[in-house]
Amino acid sequence: MQKYKTIEDKVKVILTSQTDTRDDDMKFYLCVCRYCQPSIGTMPFETVMTQCRSLGIPCFESVRRIRQKLQAQNPELIGTARVKKL
């Protein structure tokens, strides 16, 4: 997979290629973290949370805002009808 430079590019790639992440914020964030740091699944949770910057993992809130912006601009990136209602 091609590596993208900005968080927005990464978020758009994941929303486009992994449609199941559109309905689940935590699953989506995990995919973003794995995209930025492939070895994240082997690290203890505490390490990930305390060293996120040095690992190159974007802040959850930044990712959430970018996802929200992209979904507002691109309705096809919104999740299922059930999630749209919420």
Query: Is position 65 within any domain?
Result: yes
**Single-letter amino acid, residue 33:** C
The pLDDT tens digits of the residues spanning 43-70 come to 999 999 999 999 999 999 999 999 999 9
- Does the model's pTM come out above 0.85? no
Query: What's the CA gap between 50 and 59, in Å, rounded?
Result: 12
Per-chain mean pLDDT for the chain: 87
Amino acid present at 18: Q
Local confidence band at 85 (pLDDT 50, 70, 90 cut-offs): low
Measure CA 52 to chain center: 14
The answer as to whether 25 is a domain residue is: yes
pLDDT for residue 80: 76
> Does the residue 81 lie in any domain?
yes
Residue type, 37: Q
Confidence of residue 1 (pLDDT cuts 50, 70, 90): very low
Domain assignment of residue 2, yes or no: no
Domain range enclosing 62: 7-85
Instruction: Look at residue 1 and tell me if it is in a domain.
Output: no
pLDDT beyond 50 at 34: yes
Domain count, the chain: 1
Residue 86, classified by CB atoms within 10 Å of its CB into exposed (0-12), middle (13-18) or buried (19+), is exposed
Question: Is 24 part of any domain?
Answer: yes
